[in-house]
Structure 1
Amino acid sequence: GARRWCATAGRLAVHPLRASPPLSSAWRRASSIWGRLPRGADETLSQDGALAAFERGFGALEAWLRREHAATSRVLLHASTKRSFVVQHAGQLQELASALREVERLEEFARAPVPTERSDCERLRQIEASSAATAGTAIRLHQHVSHVAEDYHTTIVSLNAQLLHWDKVLSRKQRAC
């Protein structure tokens, strides 16, 4: 911020055209404006906390770039390299974006509630218990039906024997009469 203004004003003060006679008054005005700018910038920064925080952050970024041996031009070169990479690989990046959209669309199905082992085991036990109860009931019903069928068979056989006996008795009486 203010340091840059001072550096620019210093370069302006030693510029070779400054000494030329027709431009000297313009250079003096510009120089005085440049001289006041750092003071005005410092006043503005001290009044606005957000600008002061931005200035501190920018200063920290510059210090970090110097420590990492990365000048602003190198950072810009990285940005240019990134842009050219994107242009060169646009087709592949579009395919990747399409695949990521498809994965995002399918995520809802991957997040479906998964039954836990315990609930599955519990359900299996309930099904087994229900199956055993049903099998026991079916066996008792089968036994009951078997007894009814035996009783029915015995009754029909006895009834048939009785009817045959009455038929013989009636046939004899009719012949006798």
Structure 2
Amino acid sequence: MTNREWLKLIEQNKERIINKGIEAYKESLENKNLRYIVEMDENGIITMWYDVAGGNSFHMSTYNGKSIELIHFCMRNWIDDPIPDNDIEQKLHERGLYKRYLKERESQEVEDWETAEIVIINSTDEQLQGILEGCRQERKQFLVDDEYARTEAENQLENLKNVLDSFKCE
């Protein structure tokens, strides 16, 4: 198939491709040891498959030009962003544990620049640990939100379309 034909097929199946991309994104967050690939064959059949994280496997159909890899996600080297102090401290205030947290900071003799997350990680206080875990779960929920996952899948698909469109040879 030519690049123009692939672009047309992608456009015809865009919503289905994005939905499969959302699924691949969420799976990759849950299974960081795998790389998830969304592929479409020349009949418009969309599939998702996986390889080991960092792998470079591909289907023979892609090699032969009978399918195209559209989207891929691999979170093996993805590092969780630190949870902002404001988010943690807000939860501590809501649960009436802020003073307890301040005492923990004092007992650890931490510097002013130390983050709340680090202080709680180094704490043995189970209630403070529970607050931190709750913040982590909220962060994870944000990352697996359909809108966020959709944006990630759309961006990758748009990049592929730009690459296909940039090659003039058919």
Would you say same fold, with TM above 0.5?
no
Bigger RCO (CA 8 Å, 6+ sep): 2
Whichever of the two has the greater Rg, that structure is: 1
**Structure with the larger strand share:** 2
Band the TM-score falls in, shorter-chain normalisation:
under 0.3
